[in-house]
Amino acid sequence: MLDPEALADENYVTVPRGGPIYISDMVGPLTKVADFEVSIFHELERLKAELSSDSLEMFDDEISIEDLKIICEEELVAQAFEEAFKDDELGILNNKGPDKSKTNKRKRKKNTVDEHYILKVEQLAKVKEKQEEEKAAARLHSFNGSCSSSHSAPTSSSKSGRMISLKSGSLGTKTQEFLVLGRQFLTEMRDKIYCITDEIMKKTGKNDPSGFFLVEDVFCNDFRHPSATDYSKPILDWLQDSRSEAVEKWESIASGELPQKQKALFGSKIGPQLPHFKTIQMQKTRFCDLWFRLGAGYLYCHQGDCKHLVVIRDMRMIHPEDVQNRAAYPLITFQPKLRFQKCSVCKIFKAVKVTVDDKWAAENPCYFCELCYYMLHYVDGSLLYDDFSVYEYLHE
């Protein structure tokens, strides 16, 4: 996560985002970036053919914006009433003098006209009510987000980039969201994922550079560091050695609540089948190389057994209002602010240590800054007592 000072509002701008509407528990069909590009190309070709058809030749004349006028609904209603009463007003004005013989006829006609206009008003009210219902039903969907504007430097000449919006976080809680380009390597996003477990392992000197993304049936392992291990190997060995147990567990997963909902909506004649898993290198794999489903949850595993859920929420073409500097991606569009505990003693500085079952501490657990911790527990460099537990404190 970023430092709270780096998350100031003035450093963030709106990011235009779109693509398929993301609905929780709804998963799209298996797709690929290349398929998306082809579908966009065909759609553009179809629109081009439609716009250039003979049926639109009559509209080839240029229209000046100055000739256009925006008329609100109130003005339209006023014009409708004006037209409706126009004939009656002309008939009254054309009468040069009073004609007693026609007075009764005009009164009867006036009553009939009043009823006619009341009927028109009722019909107009129904039309207006229907319009309001249609407006309420038709809602445009857009995704709003924020991203750092510090990278919005030089504009790239290429406008053909693809953009994928990804959410990552611990299982069940969104902690980060990125915009990534289709031709970026998976390792570029992995390096941007923040997890406090990484920080703790680095502080204790037990950092493990290994990790993998499991996307559909592909394990994407990170082998950049010489000491990295293949996290997927024990899993693949177990699948091979205990296939019957693996199939049983897979059927249990496939018959869960979410798959049952999807089966009820879309139907499925094929029973659950154990995927044929394979492995590739993360540092050599781009997002455009992957087959994935929009809205599906994929696994990111690191530091031995720290797991995160990754969701590819939508996919779209890059927009002119997006940050055009390719070096700025993956672009963080969501990240919660960090919460830091202050020292329980001085109430001024940020805590760097936390103690548990500390007999001289005012609280349990108790948070200390560096100075207060050593003043309470050490004399001339010697620890006064050790019947307590102490841990490095980072943030919450």
Which of 116, 137, 158 is the last residue in one of the domains?
137
If asked whether residues 224 and 360 sit together in one domain, one would say no
- Residue 245 within a domain: no
Task: Decide if pLDDT at 122 tops 50.
Answer: yes
> What is the number of other CB atoms lying within 10 angstroms of the CB of residue 263?
12
- Residue 271 within a domain: no
124: helix, coil or strand? helix
Task: Decide if pLDDT at 156 tops 70.
Answer: no
- Residue 261 within a domain: no
Could you tell me which residue, 227 or 84, shows the higher pLDDT?
A: 227
75-102 per-residue burial string, b: 16 or more CB within 10 A, e: under 16: eeeeeeeeeeeeeeeeeeeeeeeeeeee
Q: pLDDT class for 41, splitting at 50, 70, 90?
A: confident
Range of the domain at 12: 4-38+144-238+276-334
If asked whether residues 78 and 113 sit together in one domain, one would say yes
Number of domains in the chain: 3
Q: Answer for the pair 145, 15: CB distance below 8 angstroms, yes or no.
A: yes
Which of 106, 137, 168 is the last residue in one of the domains?
137
- Residue 305 within a domain: yes
- Residue 254 within a domain: no
Amino acid letter, 252 = S
Which of 101, 116, 137 is the last residue in one of the domains?
137
Q: pLDDT class for 150, splitting at 50, 70, 90?
A: very low
Summarize pLDDT for 53-85 with one digit per residue, the tens: 755 555 555 556 666 667 777 777 777 767 766
**What integer pLDDT is reported at residue 196 of this predicted model?**
85
Integer Cα distance of 395 and 195 in angstroms: 11
- Residue 61 within a domain: no
11, 14, 20, 25 alpha-carbon torsion, rounded to 10°: 60
Could you tell me which residue, 273 or 336, shows the higher pLDDT?
A: 336
Return mean pLDDT, the chain: 75
Integer Cα distance of 354 and 393 in angstroms: 6
If asked whether residues 223 and 151 sit together in one domain, one would say yes
Q: pLDDT class for 313, splitting at 50, 70, 90?
A: confident
- Residue 249 within a domain: no
- Residue 303 within a domain: yes
**What integer pLDDT is reported at residue 160 of this predicted model?**
41
**What integer pLDDT is reported at residue 340 of this predicted model?**
86
Q: What sections of 314-393 are H helices per DSSP?
A: 370-377
**What integer pLDDT is reported at residue 205 of this predicted model?**
84
Cis ω for the linkage preceding 29 (within 30 of 0): no
Find, among 387, 383, 343, 375, the residue nearest to 362 by Cα. Answer: 343
Task: Decide if pLDDT at 162 tops 80.
Answer: no
If asked whether residues 165 and 215 sit together in one domain, one would say yes
If asked whether residues 18 and 164 sit together in one domain, one would say yes
Q: Answer for the pair 213, 228: CB distance below 8 angstroms, yes or no.
A: no
If asked whether residues 215 and 300 sit together in one domain, one would say yes
Average pLDDT of 304-324?
Answer: 88
pTM beyond 0.85, yes or no: no
